Amino acid sequence: MTSHQLCAFIYADLGEDLFECKKCGRSRKQAPRTGYSNLLGHLSTKHAGYLEEYAEIEAAAASTMDMFGFVDDVTLTIYLWMRWIIQCNLPITEVENKLTREVVTMELTTVRTMKVYLRYVAGKVGQTIASEMGESFGLMFDGWTCNSLHFLGIFAVYAVNGVRHQHLLALFPMDGSQTADAHLEHIESVLSVRRLNLAVNRFLEDYQNQIDIIQTLMIQLRQPNNAAALARVTPLKPIKSNVSRWSSTFTMLERYVKIRDAILTVSAMEERVPRGNAHRRISTAVEKLKELDSVCVKLQAEKCCMADVRLLFDAVLQSIL
């Protein structure tokens, strides 16, 4: 039983912050967002035993609307507003936006109210996840980049009745330096994963000259005139590498192999296309990177266990070192 439920049961809302007591007919004033102290004070002074009376009435109403899956209007309103701002990725201030209030069908609310309920729901969700995952669980870190912003996500991974569950616990921006060392210091990365990345980067060092050539080629192909000439012979667009991820290097080299014949038709780029041994080395690197990429895909499989991970890591390290 909450103060809101109790006051809604005993008082009638007269508007303009006035409430009429249904037991004695007296009116009491209660300003919005200040709690229910004035209304509850009247009940304590004039109607002793109101808590016991309300509890008896509530217990007597065995078949309440809640028991049939119905919720009160306030709960439904808050839920609809939460779904609106979260699923549409809107700021909380949207609930007070004049245009939004003109088109929505929900009862109006405020930013302050939404913050209170969001914190409350977040706490309840956290308690539910903590209870479900128990004492045996794993933490998974994942990076995500949007334009120039870098984010780090933390996931809880655990099993319930043999079924793997994965929930996002937190997502926050990476401030300051965006170097690999800064990320490692921040999340204290698992050593085996770090060894895999180091091994792949060491493998790519032998092909750095060819990678630089393709990177320059792809940048030139993204220029308006060259891009237009390339688009006339293939729907595939040039892709440049992201220095922070070896997978983007693989994507760039793989795209080059696919559109090489089309690039040769662009007169301004024909002389920049690798030939002979340089092209063969790139093709070899692509085939090797395909194997590494397939390992990364297998690591994300639902049924992948720690024994499988260990075998995959060992096999990869042995093949490229």
Alpha carbons 55 and 60: distance in angstroms, whole number = 9
Q: Which residues fall within 8 angstroms of residue 24, CB to CB, at 6 or more apart? A: 46, 47
Task: Look at residue 256 in the predicted model and tell me its pLDDT.
Answer: 92
Strand partners, 163: 160
Residue 95: exposed, middle, or buried by beta-carbon count in 10 A (0-12, 13-18, 19+)? buried
Residue 150 banded pLDDT, cuts 50, 70, 90: confident
What integer is the mean pLDDT of 18-45?
A: 82
Q: Which helix (H) or strand (E) covers residue 158, if one does?
A: strand 149-160
pLDDT at 58 over 70: no
Tens digits of residue pLDDT in 280-291: 999 988 888 888
Residues facing residue 28 across a β-bridge: 19
Residues 116-131 pLDDT 10s: 899 888 888 888 888 8
Please tell me which residue, 9 or 61, carries the higher pLDDT value. 9
Helix (H, G, I), strand (E, B) or coil at 32: coil
Residue pair 145/162 in contact by the 8 Å Cβ criterion: no
Q: How confident is the model at residue 217 (pLDDT cuts 50, 70, 90)?
A: very high
3-class secondary structure per residue, 227-240? HHHHHCCCCCCCCC
Q: CB burial class (10 A; 0-12, 13-18, 19+) of residue 34?
A: exposed
pLDDT at residue 175, rounded to an integer: 61
H helix intervals, the chain: 3-10, 37-46, 50-60, 73-87, 98-103, 111-133, 180-187, 191-205, 208-221, 224-231, 246-263, 276-299, 306-320
110 CB contacts (<8 Å, ≥6 apart)? 33, 95, 96
Residue 62: per-residue pLDDT: 46
What pLDDT does residue 81 have? 92
pTM of the model: 0.41
Q: How confident is the model at residue 306 (pLDDT cuts 50, 70, 90)?
A: low
Pair 84, 90: CB distance under 8 Å: yes
- In the predicted structure, residue 188 carries a pLDDT above the cut 50: no
- pLDDT for 192: 52
pLDDT tens-place string over residues 82-123: 999 988 889 999 999 999 888 888 888 899 889 989 988 888
Measure the CA–CA gap between 221 and 49, rounded to whole angstroms.
Answer: 82
